[in-house]
Amino acid sequence: MRLLFLFLFLVFCSVPVSGQSATLGVGDTTVNAGDPATVQVTLTNDTACDGFSLGASHDPAFVLASVVQAAGIMISDPPDFFDANIFTAGFTLGVVQDLGATLTPIPVGTDQVVADAIYLTNIVGTTHTPVLLVPTLGSPAVPLLAVFDQGLTEVVPTISNGCITLLGTATFQRGDANGNGSLNIADPILIAGHLFGAQVSVCDDADDANDDGALDIADAVYVLSYLFSMGAEPPPPFGVCGADVLADELGCDDGGCP
């Protein structure tokens, strides 16, 4: 009888039982290849959650993480600790809602947005490339983990992976801001008009005449230098329609090319 009582005590009293559960997810998004892609990171928790950690991997042949920033409930109620580290093949994220005396947790919720991951995308044909939640990134490796009960309970969350769909991008000629197939004095005038709000650009890549990934007056000056001062010709694609060969945060909806 004493042995039976001891056995029951060990089973029902000595082993903590956790009813908490959590799901960490990354969303799906579709963009033109070459345009930046934003993927939302979400948390579903059926009990107030103290914090969580994760790693998210991607294929660097198609996308590269550039920024991971707080979003959603992390903006309305900023956590005491929010840290993201970016690697060639992914990123890690750690969040602790409250490090103070009150230890206020993340409230219960479903698909609560906690972060935005912004990716640079390469120029490719239409491609579907996954974003996978993994426990292997970082040194030391950052686990997939959700924490409850003021740090007393650790739960390995269910995961929901995402996908970035890249659509074949519009082609253009560098510096050809009006998309008429030729480079002349009208183009730097239109680039300046786009910069200062007189016109709306439909192909920022074409306006980026020096291909530095930024839109500024230097682009108009670059075209004028090429046309009138024997300056360097614009970088590719120039002279023929093509896609941007360097990933940046600019895009092109209509470059005037067939």
d(CA 234, CA 53) in angstroms, rounded, equals 45
CATH topology classification for 21-167: Immunoglobulin-like (2.60.40)
Instruction: Provide the residue-wise pLDDT of the chain in tens; the chain has 258 residues.
Output: 444 433 333 333 333 344 689 999 999 999 988 889 999 999 999 999 999 999 999 999 999 999 999 999 999 999 999 999 999 999 999 999 999 888 899 999 999 999 999 999 987 767 899 999 999 999 999 999 999 999 999 999 999 999 999 987 678 999 999 999 999 999 999 999 999 988 889 899 999 999 999 999 999 999 999 999 999 999 999 999 988 877 678 888 888 887
| Residue that the structure tokens 């801001």 belong to | 177
Where in the chain are the domains?
A: 21-167, 170-258
Distance of CA 49 to the CA centre of its chain: 24
> 77: which residues sit within 8 A by CB, 6+ positions away?
97
| Residue that the structure tokens 């004028």 belong to | 224
d(CA 164, CA 119) in angstroms, rounded, equals 9
> 193: which residues sit within 8 A by CB, 6+ positions away?
199
Given CATH 1.10.1330.10, say whether it is the number of domain 170-258.
yes
